[in-house]
Amino acid sequence: MKISCVKRGETGTGASNKLRKEDFIPGVVYGKGKEPENIALSRKDMDTILKQMGSNAILDLEMNGKAYHVMLKEIQKDPILGNVVHADFMQVGKDQKVVVAVAIHLENADHLHNEGALIHLLDYVEVECLADNIPKSFHLDVGDMKVGDTKTVADIVLEKGIVILNEADEPIASLTHFRQEEETETTDEEITEPVVIGEEEEEIE
């Protein structure tokens, strides 16, 4: 993906707020052996980056006819509105290895029916891979779990060249019996879907 940006001459809170009012987002590009450059890109382009590529996006930022191969390293959001107010991009080589956090999504939880309470214990794993080979997310099938089963990091299916830095036996999800008070208040006929505990709300990328 190629995104155009412009160099920012003015910095500071006032200049940044002015950019945001004009529907631009202030940011910075930095990297090994490179002087940080203050930039601005359109809010529309920032939304496209997050929607199509996620928070670990790899893209080419074009500025004054020059392209920078970068990774979206960090975004800052307004604590009330939730919109992006600043973005950091790190220049990377295509053959450079990076360490990033990749989200884990649980699939087929609805297949468990009234088996028990599904507890989501781990939302992200640390991954080392080439900059151009970062997974957008991992999908872990829990539809075959029985009460007492636990899915661990070792159950994630990896593509070649991707290494998870978490311990292989670190638990991701477990299926447990409903608590006693839940069993006495709810009949089996009333339970149509498993209870998922600890799973984050789906993010809009």
Would 105 be classed as within a structural domain?
yes
How many folded domains does the chain comprise? 2
pLDDT, tens digit (0-9, with 9 covering 90-100), for 149-176: 999 999 999 999 999 999 999 999 999 9
Do both 186 and 141 map to the same domain?
A: yes
Would 205 be classed as within a structural domain?
no
Whole-prediction pTM value? 0.71
Do both 102 and 191 map to the same domain?
A: yes
Do both 106 and 18 map to the same domain?
A: no
Would 115 be classed as within a structural domain?
yes
Do both 115 and 189 map to the same domain?
A: yes
The residue written with tokens 């991992």 in the block is 138
Phi/psi of residue 202, each to 5°? -65, 130
What pLDDT score does 130 carry? 92
Last residue of a domain, one of 47, 70, 92: 92
Do both 105 and 86 map to the same domain?
A: no
What pLDDT score does 157 carry? 94
Q: 93 to each of 9, 62, 133, 153, 160, how far by Cα in Å? A: 27, 16, 12, 28, 19
Sort strands 97-107 and 138-141 into parallel, antiparallel or unpaired: parallel
pLDDT, tens digit (0-9, with 9 covering 90-100), for 105-151: 999 998 887 778 999 999 999 999 999 899 989 999 999 999 999 99
Would 204 be classed as within a structural domain?
no
Sort strands 117-120 and 97-107 into parallel, antiparallel or unpaired: unpaired
Do both 124 and 51 map to the same domain?
A: no
Do both 185 and 107 map to the same domain?
A: yes
Do both 103 and 188 map to the same domain?
A: yes
Domain containing 163 equals 98-197
